[in-house]
Amino acid sequence: MNTVPSVARHAGRSWRSSTSLLGALALVAAACAPERERAEALQQSAAPQLQAAGAPRATAALEPEDGQWTRPAKSHSVLRYSQLTQIDAGNVAQLRPAWSYETGVLRGHEEAPIVVGSTMYVVTPFPNELHALDLANHGAPRWVYRPRPVSAAQGVACCDVVNRGPVFADGKIVFNTLDAHVVAVDAATGREVWKTRVGDINRGETMTMAPLVVKNVVLVGNSGGELGVRGWLKGLDLASGAVRWTAYSTGPDSDVLIGPRFRPFYDDHKGEDLGVSTWPGDAWTIGGGTVWGWISYDPELDLVYHGTANPGPWNPDQRPGDNKWTSAIFARDPATGEAVWAYQVTPHDEHDYDNVNELVIIDVPWKGAMRKVLITPARNGYVYLIDRATGEVLAAEPFVYITTTNGVDLKSGRLAVNAGKKPQMGIVVRDGCPASPGGKDWQPSAFSPRTGLLYIPHNNLCQDYEALEANYIAGTP
């Protein structure tokens, strides 16, 4: 497969071509023709470290199967795995459409429908209507809730006016609107229970992610890293919608909710107020690090895990330093938001490698013992295996063709950056791989305890890149 060169500029996203492929952790799909030898080498080397033939398989804790799908990823561990067995390899070819339903909204539908009892709930792109469909009656609509978000939010959204779905908890359907509100609706009647504004579109904040509810706390994050916003994760009270806590991705430790419990694994993650000192001046106040991706939860450790997006602006010369804590992973206490550990996956992110992809909670055989880990296919092109109690990186293997970096040093946890692919002012840098959408973007992977494999929809895409000087005006790219 030949690549088509693409162009990405620091303040927007403009790509000529994108090809999505589906692969498993044990396989690497065929790469671009000029790099075929490299791809073949990866195919031989990537999987054996994680799952040798005949070795014990990776596994995961499963909740009792009730035939419902009440969260965007079904489980808190973000497996996206169903234990139902009615559909199998022997009868899948017999599947036929049973019914269809039109929402009437013509923009990108990236939401995961959820199923509670015999009702399916779907949140549309802007204007973020919530549709309740009767599965026992050919998908007939039961009711539609219309939150009526502010129309101006459409002009602030970076990358389409999408929504990634609702969550069900305590009789409520909870979801986000593009104009930075969180809404709770009675699942039976469609009546609004509460509606809380958590961001400001005039500053460029929008919301596209799917919430997660943990122990009666609604976890939500903002979008808008391309508009100079400051990223955060908030915890709202499920009963009232009141904001319990806010954890910023940049700034002083008191804002990031870094305190005495914080125990990062790597030395360059230790120190006071790194969310300020690793930025020039007050650039951290408009430095991005939004939380627009997936959130997972380990009830045994009582920790939630989330990623943070790219630093802003895209032009790395305007923000020297590691730019903590953007393009990173946090482990937090869901009740308080307090950070327990953090790991910056892509320090001083030069290529928009937001680290917001799913953090799948599994257990793996590792050097003679089972380890509790997170596994995540990152946008920088590596599949990371991370101890979920400590933040130690156990493995980081390429799953796409990579030119921007030369691997991950497991002792320091740092990427080996290829200086020849650094974006430069006035110079078009060719063949940056992966491109800005990453080796994998928001489209979620899934883990099967039956096979011990993680299935990854990924992007086989490179780009040509030229850095431009950015100026900050609130609410604009």
pLDDT at 457: 96
Arithmetic mean of pLDDT, 17-26? 35
Report yes or no: 405 and 422 within 8 Å, Cβ to Cβ.
no
Active site residue 310: yes
Nearest Cα neighbor of 411 from 389, 399, 395 is: 395
Average pLDDT (406-419) is 97
Query: What are the residue ranges spanned by the domains of the chain?
Result: 7-83+104-465
pLDDT tens by residue, 202-253:
999 999 999 999 999 999 999 999 999 999 999 999 999 999 999 999 999 9
pLDDT of 273 > 70? The answer is yes
Confidence check: pLDDT of 26 > 60? no
Residue 22, CB half-sphere, CA atoms under 13 Å: how many?
6
Q: What's residue 275's pLDDT?
A: 98
Cα–Cα distance measured from residue 12 to residue 153, given in angstroms and rounded to the nearest whole number: 17
Q: Residue 383: is its pLDDT beyond 90?
A: yes
- Tell me what pLDDT residue 13 has: 35
| Strand 232-237 with 243-248, pairing | antiparallel
Structure token pair of residue 305: 């895990």
Q: What local confidence, expressed as pLDDT, does residue 54 receive?
A: 61
Q: pLDDT digits over 322-371, tens only?
A: 999 999 999 999 999 999 999 999 999 999 999 999 999 999 999 999 99
Catalytic hit among 352, 354, 392, 431: 352
pLDDT in tens, 88-99: 999 999 999 999
pLDDT bucket at 46, cuts 50 / 70 / 90: very low
On the question of pLDDT at 10 being above 50, the answer is no
Report whether pLDDT(263) > 90: yes
Collapsed DSSP state (helix, strand, coil) of residue 227: helix
Asked if 215 and 334 count as a contact pair (C-beta separation under 8 A), the reply is yes
**224 backbone dihedrals φ, ψ, rounded to 5°:** 125, 20
Q: Are strands 463-465 and 7-8 parallel, antiparallel or unpaired?
A: parallel
Q: What is the pLDDT of residue 140?
A: 98
pLDDT at 225: 94
Please state, rounded to an integer, the average pLDDT across all residues of the chain: 90
How confident is the model at residue 56, as a pLDDT?
84
**Which residue among the candidates 226, 298, 349, 350 is catalytic per the annotation?**
226
CATH number listed for the domain at residues 7-83+104-465 = 2.140.10.10
- Asked if 332 and 304 touch (Cβ cutoff 8 Å), the reply is yes
pLDDT tens column, 106-132: 999 999 999 999 999 999 999 999 999
Q: What pLDDT score does 20 carry?
A: 33
